[in-house]
Amino acid sequence: MKTLEDRLQEGQPIQQAITNLNKSYQRRDGRLKKRLENMLQKEYVYFITFTIAPKNYGLKYNTYLRKIKEALAGASGWVVNSDYGSINERLHFHCVATFNSQLDYNTLNNIYQYGTIDFKPIYSANEKALREYLLKTFNHAVKQTAGNTYFSRKKKKGR
């Protein structure tokens, strides 16, 4: 997504650049909500937090992300966003992931070895619980300290 600075460098007047940036955020937020709503309708859905152990703090950001994506390879869909804690400002990742069957926690733990993984199954399919998970996940993804948001891609047939 283009930043305000990018838009100004393109020659957009300041008010137009701000308006276009806001519209861009609204479109992104709408797509994220729709994706999460669809995921929360599945049978095997989990809210997962990937943390980083102090001994692994010096690794590159993409190293953590690559291992998280590898750990989620068995998921039928996922949304991951990076976040920084409000107290210690430590990098961690939040994820909503769907699977075709019950999650094998050991598989994820064996792949992602840079810290701990907190799993929270989303059992309740009632509207109130789904709204709460949607709101929690969405707020993690769009808050000030959040970093980038990453999405699984649809798998092509034959892969």
The length of the chain is 159
In angstroms, the Cα distances linking 27 to 31, 75, 132 are: 6, 25, 21
Is the pLDDT assigned to residue 148 strictly greater than 80? no
The model's confidence at residue 125, banded by pLDDT at 50, 70 and 90, is: low
Phi, psi values for residue 110, rounded to 5° = -70, -30
Lookup result for tokens 């907190």: 118
Q: How far apart are CA 66 and CA 88, in angstroms?
A: 24
Query: Which overall architecture, per CATH, does domain 40-151 show?
Result: 2-Layer Sandwich (3.30)
pTM of model > 0.85: no
- Check residues 142 and 89 and name the one with the higher pLDDT: 89
Q: How far apart are CA 119 and CA 103, in angstroms?
A: 10
Q: How far apart are CA 122 and CA 77, in angstroms?
A: 15
Domain range list for the chain: 4-34, 40-151
Convert the pLDDT of each residue in 55-68 to its tens digit: 999 999 999 999 99
Convert the pLDDT of each residue in 106-117 to its tens digit: 989 999 999 999
Q: How far apart are CA 118 and CA 48, in angstroms?
A: 6
Q: What is the mean pLDDT of the chain?
A: 81
